[in-house]
């Protein structure tokens, strides 16, 4: 793998659920260190696309490469994903029966086989990074939504992924807590993390994204740098979507 290898490469990827075609021949290349924001109406396939990247969904045809390694649909995929990609979910998915610290330490200890002390170290440092070190011994139920999502981001970072995927990370949050999560994501982007972020937060897209991708009905309609995307969208559907989402 050299510096030219893209972080993520999707080549004509298709996926269907029963009779519903969620992805139709989607192709996308994400360079290392690039920040991509994916937007589009619900049902457009944006979540499906990133879930295929970290193999939560198995694509039906086409090829997906993560840091040069192909996702074959077999057992080896989890190793590829685990070593390269971290995921943050809309519903946080923190383990409710474990403390924040235990949530963070679980993967480093079990998967990376680190010692308890090492894992604890990593966990506490990351909690500092997301600015809630004092919540270490609390249970998820005792935290606010914004705090939980920040813990989720820290948890994903504990295993040192090279690429971070965000699936509508702020959609389940009360408005006043969206900023604290976006701030963490912006800081992450500034440090050079490769990111694909599915979101409706266009302010975030404008300030952080290298490219904004618009998807509709399972296809990528348009992909451009933010100034071009927001200032001069080329397709009618993109214009329509932007007018709906930016009007309020």
Partner 1 sequence: MSFDIALILDSVPKLLAGIGLTLQLLLLSGLFGTLLGVLTCAARLSRLPILRWPGWLYITLFRGTPLLVQIFIIYYGLAQFEAIRDSFLWTFLREPYWCAILAFALNTGAYTGEIFRGGVQGVDKGLTEAAWALGLNRWHRLRYIVAPIALRLSLPAYGNDMISLLKGTALASTITLLDITGVARNIVAKTFAPYEIFISAAIVYLCMTWVIQRLVAWAEWRLNRPLRAS
Residues that bind partner 1 (CB under 8 A): 54, 56, 78-79, 81-83, 85-87, 89, 91, 93-99, 106-107, 110-111, 138-142, 152, 155-156, 159
Can you tell me the distance from the alpha carbon of 184 to that of 178, in angstroms, rounded to the nearest whole number? 10
State in angstroms the smallest separation of the CB of 140 from partner 1.
8
Residues 85 and 55: their CA atoms lie apart, in Å, by 10
Compute the distance between CA of residue 104 and CA of residue 96 in angstroms, rounded to an integer: 12
CB 123 to partner 1: min, Å: 13
Say whether 138 sits in a helix, a strand or coil. coil
CB of 125 to partner 1, least distance (A): 17
Q: Quick one: 80 or 205, whose CB is closer to partner 1?
A: 80
Between residues 171 and 243, which has the closer beta carbon with respect to partner 1? 171
In the bound state with partner 1, the residue whose beta carbon lies nearer, of 159 and 220, is 159
Backbone angles phi, psi at 10, to 5 degrees: -110, 130
| Cβ proximity to partner 1, 36 vs 163, nearer residue | 163
Reduced 3-state DSSP string for 182-215: HHHHHHHHHCCCEEEEECCCHHHHHHHCCEEEEE
Q: Give min distance, CB of 51 to partner 1, in A.
A: 9
């Amino acid at each position: 793998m050299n510096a030219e290898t893209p972080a993520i490469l999707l080549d004509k990827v298709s996926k269907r659920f029963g009779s519903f075609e969620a992805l139709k021949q989607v192709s996308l290349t994400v360079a290392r260190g690039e920040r991509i924001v994916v937007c589009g109406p619900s049902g457009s396939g944006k979540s499906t696309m990133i879930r295929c990247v970290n193999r939560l969904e198995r694509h039906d045809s086409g090829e997906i490469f993560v840091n040069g390694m192909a996702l074959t649909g077999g057992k080896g995929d989890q190793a590829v994903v685990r070593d390269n990609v971290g995921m943050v979910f809309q519903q946080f998915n923190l383990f409710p029966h474990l403390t924040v610290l235990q949530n963070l330490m679980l993967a480093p200890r079990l998967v990376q086989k680190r010692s308890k002390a090492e894992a604890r170290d990593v966990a506490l440092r990351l909690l500092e990074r997301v600015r809630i070190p004092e919540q270490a011994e609390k249970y998820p139920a005792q935290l606010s939504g914004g705090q939980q999502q920040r813990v989720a981001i820290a948890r994903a970072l504990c295993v040192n992924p090279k690429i971070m995927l965000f699936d509508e990370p702020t959609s389940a949050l009360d408005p006043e807590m969206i900023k604290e999560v976006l701030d963490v994501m912006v800081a992450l982007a500034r440090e050079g993390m490769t990111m694909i972020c599915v979101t409706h937060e266009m302010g975030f897209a404008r300030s952080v994204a290298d490219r904004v991708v618009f998807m509709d009905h399972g296809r990528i309609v348009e992909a451009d740098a933010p100034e071009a995307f927001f200032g001069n969208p080329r397709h009618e559907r993109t214009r329509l979507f932007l007018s709906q989402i930016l009007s309020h």
